[in-house]
């Protein structure tokens, strides 16, 4: 098991809240939104904790900035000593 942990920046937490609100308005189901967001967490924990450097490097944004994509959402992150910080996320088909 990895000694790293995943943390979300305030911006990433805000984006998750926006996504949750949008999904709820579309589906009217808290359980759907919870399952959907849980799938994000499971993906990030499975992939990033085991393979933190698997993401595509984004040198234009910084030396340690990377991106992974899951269900049309890009997660922008950086690896620090003992943590993987999710900086933000966005849906791929939106500007």
DSSP 25-42: HHH--HHHHHHHHHHHHH
Q: Quick check: 12 and 41 in contact, CB under 8 A? A: no
Domain count, the chain: 1
For the chain, the maximum distance between any two Cα atoms, rounded to a whole number of angstroms, is 41
Distance of alpha carbon 27 from alpha carbon 24, whole angstroms: 5
Range of the domain at 86: 5-91
Q: Is 73 helix (H, G, I), strand (E, B) or coil?
A: strand
Q: What is the pLDDT of residue 63?
A: 85
CATH number at 43 reads 3.30.2310.20
pTM of this structure: 0.87
Report residues of the chain scoring pLDDT below 50.
Answer: 95
Q: What is the pLDDT of residue 11?
A: 97
């Amino acid at each position: 098991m990895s000694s790293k942990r995943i943390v979300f920046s305030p911006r990433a937490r805000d984006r998750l809240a926006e996504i949750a609100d949008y999904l709820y308005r579309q589906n009217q189901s808290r359980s759907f939104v919870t399952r959907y967001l849980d799938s994000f967490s499971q993906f990030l924990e499975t992939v990033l904790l085991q393979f933190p450097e698997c993401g595509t490097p984004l040198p234009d944004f910084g030396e340690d900035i990377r991106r992974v994509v899951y269900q049309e959402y890009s997660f922008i992150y950086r690896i620090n000593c003992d943590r993987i910080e999710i900086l933000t996320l966005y849906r791929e088909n939106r500007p």
